[in-house]
Structure 1
C-alpha cells in the first residue's frame, strides 16, 4: 500500500528534498536562516541550563489550576530538575533546542558546501527529520494554549517564574512560528498526524509511569480523584486540539508557499 512507502511520508524515491527546502528560505538568505536557528538553539539551551541552575539553589512557587480543579500551589526545588523530564512542556522545549541545533548545523553546511549532510543520510534518518519538523511545528502550540488557557492561575510574583513561564509557555510557540514561516519546506504530510497522536499517547503512558515510580501526577487532571470522566474528557480534548493544530500548522505552510 502506498501509505507505507517513504514517498507517502515525505521522502521521495527520486531523492530527499531535491530543492533543499529544509535549509533554504523564501524570505532570507541561507546564512541568515542558519544564524536565526543557531540563536534559537542557544536561547533554548541557555534557558534550560539557567532554569536548572536556579532550581538547584532556590525554590520556585507556581500557582496552577484546571478547568475543573481549583487553584493550587506547588513548590519546585532541586527535585524538579529530574521531574522536568516527565513534563510535556520541558520535553517539547528540549526537542526545540535539539532541532535548532541540528537544523542550524545542516543549514550552515549548506551555506558553505551548497549541500547538507541531511541529504546524504540514510532514508530512515531523513524520514525521522521530516517527522521531527512536524512535531516541533505543532506541539509547542498545544503547550502554549493548554497552559495559558486552562492551567495558568494568575501572573506569578517572582521574576524567575515570570521569565520561565514566558520562555517555555510562550516563546516556544514563537519558535515554532519561525520554523513555519522561514524555511521553504513543503506542507507536512497528512499521515504525520498519526505519529503526532501516537507521541501524545506514549506520553500519557509516560506520565502514569512517573506516577508509579516517583509518586506524583505530572498534571493534576490525571489524578483519578477528580473522576475518570474528567481524565477521558481531557484526553479527548487534547487529541481534538492536536488535530486542529496540525491542520492549522500545515495550512500555514501552504499559505507561506503561496505567498512566496
Structure 2
C-alpha cells in the first residue's frame, strides 16, 4: 500500500464502505438517521438565509478580542454578507449544510432503494467518477467531525468579548459557534462509520493552510483582515504563534474525533454482545456470519438485507 493508493485514503481493494457504515447507525434505524441529517441541513441553510436577510436590512454589533489584542467592536451590515465567505466560521457552517444535505440524500436512498446508493454503487454508469467521489465524501466526513470544534473552541476561548445584547447576535453566535459542534457530535455518535484514516489529517491541515492563503487574498482584494491576529501590526511572532497553535489544536481535535469514533464502535459492539448474552433476538438488525454459525458479526449490523448488485467489470 502506497500513499498514492486509494487504500491509503480509506477505500480498500474490497470496495468503498462494504457494510454501508456511512448510511446506517448502531443506535437508530437508517430512516431516523436520514431524517436527523435532513433536519440539520435544513437548520444550517435556514440559519444562513435568515442571517443574510437580517444583515441586508439591519446592522449587527459584535465585540471581539484575542489573546494579545484588546476588545474591539465590529459593525456588520449588508457588506458582511459577501465578506462572510472569507470567514472560516461561515465556510464551516456552509460545509455542514451541504454535508448533511448530501448524506441525508444517500441515507434516504439506502432506505427506500433496498440498500443501493449513488455513494456506494454510482449507478454502475461508466462515466460516473465513483472512486473520486467516494474519496471526497470520506474526506468531507473527516472535516465535518473536526473543523467545527476548532471554530467553537477558538471563538469562545479566545475571541468572544462578552455576551451580545441583541437577540439576533445571541442567536447567530449560538448557531455558528456552538450548535456547529453539536452537529459534529451527532455525526460522531450516530453513524456506524469507521475511524478516518490517518492520511485524512493531512487533508484537514491542508484545508487550514489553503484558508490562510484565502484570508490574505481577502486582505489584498477587499482591504480588511478577516481576523485581527493576521494583522502584522500586532507583531509577526503573533501570527506565527497563532498559526502554530491552530495547527497543533487541529491535530489534537482530529485525534480526539478519531478515537471518539473508535470508542463509539467499541461501545456498540459491547452493547450487541450484552444483548446476545441476554438471549435477545436481533431480528432484522443482524446478519449471521453463516447458516451454521451461532456467532453474530457486529460489523454487519444493518437495518435490512442489502441486495447484491454487481456491475460489469469494466464499470468498476
Find out whether 1:153 has 2:161 as its counterpart. yes
CA deviation after TM superposition for structure 1 residue 234, in Å: 0.1
The 10-residue stretch of structure 1 (185-194 or 5-14) with the greater mean CA deviation from structure 2: 5-14
Find out whether 1:12 has 2:12 as its counterpart. yes
Q: CA RMSD in A?
A: 0.6
Aligned to 2:285: none
With the length of structure 1 as denominator, give the TM-score of the two structures.
Answer: 0.99
CA deviation after TM superposition for structure 1 residue 3, in Å: 1.8
Q: Secondary structure of the residue that 2:21 maps to in structure 1? A: coil
Q: Which has the higher helix share?
A: 1
Residues 118-137 of structure 1 show CA distances to partners (whole Å, capped at 9, x for unaligned) of 01231011000000000010
Aligned runs of 1:1-260 on 2, under 5 Å?
A: 2-113=2-113, 114-121=115-122, 122-260=130-268
CA deviation after TM superposition for structure 1 residue 4, in Å: 1.4
CA deviation after TM superposition for structure 1 residue 14, in Å: 1.3
CA distance in 2, matches of 1:13, 1:94: 33
**Count of paired positions:** 260
The 10-residue stretch of structure 1 (230-239 or 2-11) with the greater mean CA deviation from structure 2: 2-11
CA deviation after TM superposition for structure 1 residue 12, in Å: 1.4
Q: Secondary structure of the residue that 2:74 maps to in structure 1? A: strand
Aligned to 2:301: none
With the length of structure 2 as denominator, give the TM-score of the two structures.
Answer: 0.82
Where in structure 2 are there 5+ consecutive unaligned residues? 123-129, 269-316
Residues 166-186 of structure 1 show CA distances to partners (whole Å, capped at 9, x for unaligned) of 000000000000000000000
Residues 3-44 of structure 1 show CA distances to partners (whole Å, capped at 9, x for unaligned) of 211011111121110100000000000000000000000000
Runs of 4+ in 1 over 4 A off after TM superposition: none
Residues 52-81 of structure 1 show CA distances to partners (whole Å, capped at 9, x for unaligned) of 000000000000000000000000000000
CA distance in 2, matches of 1:194, 1:37: 26
Residues 74-124 of structure 1 show CA distances to partners (whole Å, capped at 9, x for unaligned) of 000000000000000000000000000000000000001112110123101
Where in structure 1 are there 5+ consecutive unaligned residues? none
